[in-house]
Structure 1
Amino acid sequence: MSESLPTRSRAVAAALRSAGIEGEIVVLPDAAHTAALAAAALGVEVGAIANSLVFWSDDEPLLVMTSGAHRVDTAALAARLGRGGIRRATPEQVLAATGQPIGGVAPSGHPSPLATIVDEDLAAFPRIWAAGGTPHTVFPLTFDDLVRLTGGTVAKVD
């Protein structure tokens, strides 16, 4: 583990190693708060960016790992999951649930595991990129690695 990584990214790197995922965290020169910025910085399609979006549903956080190519249809997803509703978490709720800031939320390295939905559309890409705990860090992995890392449920999210 590189000591030059930000503290939050070191926690993510430890979670990746623990899960047997080989992708290394990359520090970007500029913050990539959006999928479009991350895709441009990496030279990949925006759909290959796995956005980590935190929602609040049934009084608990819900992490949705979605393709950067589209938005989450919260009403449709709530109906598919049999939940009372899904709404965006506040920045304070995101930080409390993940220990990471909006724009840099990783799929792992959180204080405790989160219920996670993984967008089925991410399976179309041989390699996807996810945030590494800060808006300046990302890492590559496969769709199967993402599902295994998060313990997530694969579903249609748009």
Structure 2
Amino acid sequence: MKEFEEKLKKYIRENKIAAEHLAFTQSCHSVSEAALACGATPEDFVKNICMIDEENNLIVAIVKGEDRASRTKVGKALGINMPKVANEDEILKYTGYPCGGVPSFGYKASFVIDPRVMEKEIVYTGGGSTHSLVRIKSSDLKKANGGAVISIRK
């Protein structure tokens, strides 16, 4: 798992992203586990829901930790048919990161950010592994992935 964390830290450095990488001994796979690990609340987290369109392109729907992404809304927002949710193997193949550690930037995808994410000044996202997180301003997250801010939550 360390190689994934190192890859992300290198990407953050090389692209001069204002973000802090945090590593833990306990799991951060779920929002509740991550909140316990870093002493934050579940409302401080974002989830990166990986989806694949009909042409096998990766779409990442970024929603607050307590929210769910609507595949229908994502499809409408991008003007495509409803995408399918990626499985663990597809997530690793398309993002280069394991499920539960996927960051909100650092790989080729169409990023769609729910407006509620932007309401928080600081958010936590995947840090490359199930034992790490990235602490970042929501505005810097948007800048890092070039995502569109569109309502996509259920």
Shared fold (TM-score greater than 0.5)?
yes
Structure 2 residues not aligned, in runs of 5+? none
Q: 2:58 aligns with which of 49, 57, 61?
A: 61
In the other structure, the counterpart of 2:21 is 25
Q: How many residues align?
A: 152
- Superposition map of 1:3-152 within 5 A: 6-59=2-55, 60-110=57-107, 113-152=108-147
Contact residue 11 and residue 109 of structure 1 kept, 8 A: no
Runs of 4+ in 1 over 6 A off after TM superposition: none
Cα drift, residue 37 of structure 1: 1.6
So what's the TM-score if we normalise by structure 1?
0.88
- Rounded to whole Å, the distance in 1 between the matches of 2:41 and 2:118 is 14
Deviation at 1:139, TM superposition (A): 1.4
Render the CA deviation track for 1:135-156: whole Å, top value 9, x for unaligned.
Answer: 1010111111111111111111
DSSP 3-state at the match of 1:25: strand
| Alignment deviations for residues 96-137 of structure 1 (CA, whole Å, 9 cap, x no partner) | 101111101112333xx2111112111121210111110101
**1:18 & 1:50 partners in 2: Cα distance?**
23
The residue type equivalent to 2:96 in the other structure is G
CA displacement 1:9-64 (0-9 Å, x = unmatched) = 11111221233223221111211111222122222221221212211123211111
Go from structure 1 to structure 2 and tell me whether the alpha carbon gap of 1:76 and 1:23 turns closer, same or farther (over 3 Å shift). closer
The letter for the 1-side match of 2:112 is: I
Q: Provide the alpha-carbon RMSD of the alignment.
A: 1.6
User: Are the equivalent residues in 1 in contact too, given 2:19–2:137 (CA < 8 A)?
Assistant: no
Contact 2:106 2:145 in 1 (8 A): no
Amino acid at match of 1:23: A
**TM-score, length basis structure 2:** 0.90
Amino acid corresponding to residue 141 of structure 2 in structure 1? L
Structure 1 unmatched runs, 5+: none
